[in-house]
Amino acid sequence: MNLYDYIFKRKSTRKYDMTPLKEEQLEEIKAFADKLKPLYKDIKVEYIVANAAEVKNILPIKAPHYFIISSESKEGYLTNVGFMFQQMDLYLSSKGIGTCWLGMAKPIKKINTRLEFVIILAFGKALGSPYRELSEFKRKSLSEISSGEDERLEGARLAPSATNSQHWFFAAKDGKIHAYQKKLNMVQALMYDKMNKVDIGIALCHLYVATEHFGKDFVFTKEEHPKEIEGYIYTGTVE
């Protein structure tokens, strides 16, 4: 499925029609969730689909459905979750269904899993359109978050992030894109450390979708001696 076009039109939906989706729709959504491509194949990830009575959220965003996502706590697990479930975000967008990442929401009851709770993705029928015009995106310019040239970078630039912080940098060279996360000070780390790692996974998902759109195979590796960029931490390389 080509999800590339929805990178350029999706938006975070904050107001929902609380009418539940039809059961056949939910079954199709779960079937897609079971086939999400991981960034790291050795990290176990689980999800459950919950309703509004099963989730508490500090922000006044209420949806009819939620993915409650849990993972093994291993190196790269937060980035892996962002990478996987941004595929779901784009898939739901392709079906005209609204979505929103909820970094401050939690399940009301303890989840029946040995894995660590990570994050919640809300979804359901949007009140209003789940899409926007390209001119409505509030994002940094490519020159602020990347160097070099690669046709896939625009997709990464438009990726959602906590408070639109875009704490990432992409260095394109010789057909490769090297991804970096911004180093956070102590105050920033308290607020953004977890979401920063999820966010870079979301941006890498957009690179994955763009890579396939342009007819290439997506390969993610970690170089032993990557180029250092002041103020950033190396995450990995997309070929």
Q: Which pLDDT belongs to residue 1? A: 66
Sorted by sequence, the CB contacts under 8 Å of residue 31 that are 6+ apart come out as none
Residue 132 lies in a domain: no
Residue 59 lies in a domain: yes
Residue 229 host element (H or E): none
Residue 133 lies in a domain: no
Query: Which domain covers residue 115, as residue numbers?
Result: 4-124
Q: For residues 60 and 62, what is the distance between their CA atoms, to the nearest angstrom? A: 6
CATH number for the domain that contains residue 171: 3.40.109.30
What pTM did the predictor assign? 0.96
User: Two tokens at 13?
Assistant: 């939906």
Q: Which pLDDT belongs to residue 163? A: 87
Q: Which pLDDT belongs to residue 112? A: 87
How many domains are contained in the chain? 2
Residues (pLDDT < 50) of the chain are none
Residues 152 and 108 in one domain: no
